[in-house]
Homo-oligomer: A and B are copies of this chain.
Amino acid sequence: MSDQKGRARDFGVCFQGAPGPFNAVTDVPGIKIGHHQLVAGEDVRTGVTAIVIDAPDAASGVPAALFSFNGTGEMTGSHLIEEIGVLFGPVLTTGTLNVGAARDGALQWARRHVTDADRRFSRILPVVAETFDGRLHDAWGLHLKPEHALAALEAARGGAVEEGAVGGGTGMIAFGFKGGIGTASRLVRFGEGTFSVGVLAQCNYGRREELTICGVPVGRLIADLKPEGIDAGDTPESASLIVIVATDAPLDAVGLKRLARRAALGMGRTGVTGDAGSGDIFLAISTAHRVTLGGETLNAMAVVPPLSLDPFSEATVQAVEEALINALFAGETMRGQNGALVYGLPRERAAQLIASGGR
């Protein structure tokens, strides 16, 4: 527990590919992240994270697609994304029982920032995704209010992204360790340009014995430090994983759906086999194009050819993998409601196991 803080790379964990300057989703130009958390007393451990697409015309959308690897979870606004391949406005991630409040906060934010009256979908069908924080947190207390979501949205900024028990990740658990927010990015050279693929993940998934890092079965090798005081009725279905993949590469909804599907391979690299109750839902967006909702002016796009997707697929798998591991490395031991105790990943110990190949 005396581990120094640091991200997985700081502990020598080797990942494939070249990250961007912040190794964060914010390496994608125009992507801003805001966290707001409520941590109080013994039983309030929740929050909300906002992904804001910064644009002069916030009402316009960007190409988007999603993939539900295991849909035992919620991402509101999915029908609109599936139908027109466009995301309007921000994305919020939070605890499951906060979805209604976060959605209302997004409405307020949209009303404040979206001025183009006839582009209504940008205002009234907010995207809110969730994982369940009701093990450490008094979820049924409904502590999170719309103003907290509004605060996360207004706090969104670029640069380094705080990870771990912040924002929507505050009360999360992953692999029986403290989970939460993780992020990473990759640079991709394509044609004459360099693009970024960035990932933000809210991690509340995974069983200890499955945890694999860089091919090493770390979870089986750290059999201690199990959660304490968690209700016996708490079954694996309490788990979930939300992943947002953002890129400035010129992809349309068809290409982004393919990237979203590949996020599952990044998740798989952490050892899981797809828990039946883990709501694993992945969203991919591109900031390379602005899409106007209506009118007679065509939306111009220039799109990566379908068989040239590979560098972006690699970047997605790699960045997802690292973001998920980063969430674990950012975890600090937390106590919560009813005496619940979840340990943070012992970073040094994990790093040594990884370095030694588990020997």
- Please tell me which one of the listed residues B238, B261, B264, B308 contacts residue A294 in the complex, with CB atoms under 8 A apart: B308
A10 CB within 8 Å of chain B: no
Q: Is A79 an interface residue (CB 8 A)?
A: yes
A42-74 interface (Cβ within 8 A of B): 68-74
Is there contact, CB below 8 Å, between A72 and B264? no
A68-B82, A100-B103 are contacts. A233–B291 as well, Cβ < 8 Å? no
CA distance A320 to B1 in the complex (A): 38
> A273-323: which residues lie under 8 A (CB-CB) from chain B?
273-277, 279, 281, 291-310, 313-314, 316-318
A110 smallest CB distance to B (angstroms): 10
Among the 9-residue stretches A119-127, A177-185, A326-334, A341-349, the one with 4 or more Cβ atoms under 8 Å from chain B is A119-127
Among the stretches A23-31, A160-168, A248-256, the one at the interface with B is: A248-256
**Chain A interface, >50% SS class:** mixed
A268-B273 Cα distance, complex, nearest whole Å: 11
When the two chains form their complex, are residues B73 and A76 in contact, meaning their CB atoms are under 8 A apart? no
A216, CB-defined interface residue at 8 Å: yes
A318 to B310, CA, bound (A): 25
**CB atoms of B70 and A118 under 8 A apart:** no
Among residues of B, the one whose C-beta sits closest to the C-beta of A212 is: B215
Contact of A305 among B71, B264, B293, B307 (CB under 8 A): B293
- A224: interface (CB < 8 Å): no
Interface size on A, residues (CB 8 A): 98
B250 in contact with A298 (CB, 8 Å): yes
**Are B97's CB and A83's CB within 8 A?**
no
Q: Does A37 contact B (CB under 8 A)?
A: no
Kindly provide the distance from the CB of A37 to the nearest chain B CB, expressed in whole angstroms.
20
The answer to whether B313 touches A84, judged by C-beta atoms less than 8 angstroms apart, is no
CB closest chain-B residue, reference A63: B254
- Across the interface, A68 reaches (CB within 8 A) one of B79, B118, B253, B267, namely B79
Cβ–Cβ < 8 Å partners of A295 in chain B: 305, 308
Asked whether any CB of chain B lies closer than 8 Å to the CB of A78, the reply is yes
CA distance A100 to B84 in the complex (A): 23
| Cα–Cα distance between A259 and B85 once the two chains are bound (Å) | 14
Residues of A within 8 A of B (CB): 68-80, 82-86, 96-97, 99-104, 107, 111, 117-118, 120-121, 124-125, 132, 140, 142, 146, 190-191, 212, 214-217, 233, 235-238, 250, 252-254, 258, 261-262, 264-265, 267-269, 272-277, 279, 281, 291-310, 313-314, 316-318, 357-359
**Which 8 residue pairs are nearest across A and B when measured between Cβ atoms?**
A215-B215, A71-B83, A71-B79, A357-B357, A100-B100, A84-B306, A298-B302, A294-B307
Q: List 7 A-B contacts (CB under 8 A).
A: A97-B124, A100-B101, A100-B102, A100-B146, A261-B264, A264-B265, A275-B313
